[in-house]
Structure 1
């Protein structure tokens, strides 16, 4: 009886950790993790039922293979679709940020610094502004690229 409780606690803890892990992922990736979780739980349930004799062993074997078959089928379908589009070797083009032309006074103004700022001040100001203006936190790519370019220019001129 105590062994069953320990196993149940371990399973519940594993589910809790998995859900916490999935919640840390971007929202557009969460669905695939939850689908994988459901298929895995269904497969584990079938295996458990077959081990306890409530389901035929063949059904348990098929159910246990479901996650692996799903992964194989999804990879196979993706490769077929990529090959039919002629994109098998090509990746999606990365969005390039435009080159930023600025001088030192503009870079200082962007970071809110005065002339003669130390490297630590530059890094601290960049980090503070980036936490507010990062694209993942409601900012946009243009502002982030301006901050990065200002930091790089000032650090390059500082040494």
Structure 2
């Protein structure tokens, strides 16, 4: 083999080893993998969120919360909806645009785990509302107490709250 052929063989081997090591170096360091249910599927399968699911369906937002995201959803429990004044939920269901604005006040763009949320003073919801965050006595977002955190979905995260945020 002449010098140029030997040089090409060495370059090819170095390149092959470089590619091999690059692949090994990245093993296990993928971006968050899309596994598990979507936020919408998580809500449907979770007990205590049936009123939220009904409202999401009425507002046409189930498909949105099935998309790639990522989203952070502040999910009011059934008890949170039950605490609304009499007739308020029915009024929202009847007014799709108002319902959509209320529900989008519970959705934040991006994946905000609890460890991140507690470092923030406020966050902007997809409705455009600025939601204040307080950590003085537990964690409250726009006056709603966070009662369960970090329910992971493939397109985001869900935190359960004890009140419905009304913009």
Question: Do both proteins adopt the same fold according to a TM-score greater than 0.5, normalized to the shorter chain?
Answer: no
TM tier relative to shorter chain: under 0.3
Report which of the two structures shows the higher radius of gyration computed on alpha carbons.
1
TM-score, with length taken from structure 1: 0.23
TM-score, with length taken from structure 2: 0.22
Q: Which has the higher contact order (CA 8 A, sep 6+)?
A: 2
More strand by share: 2
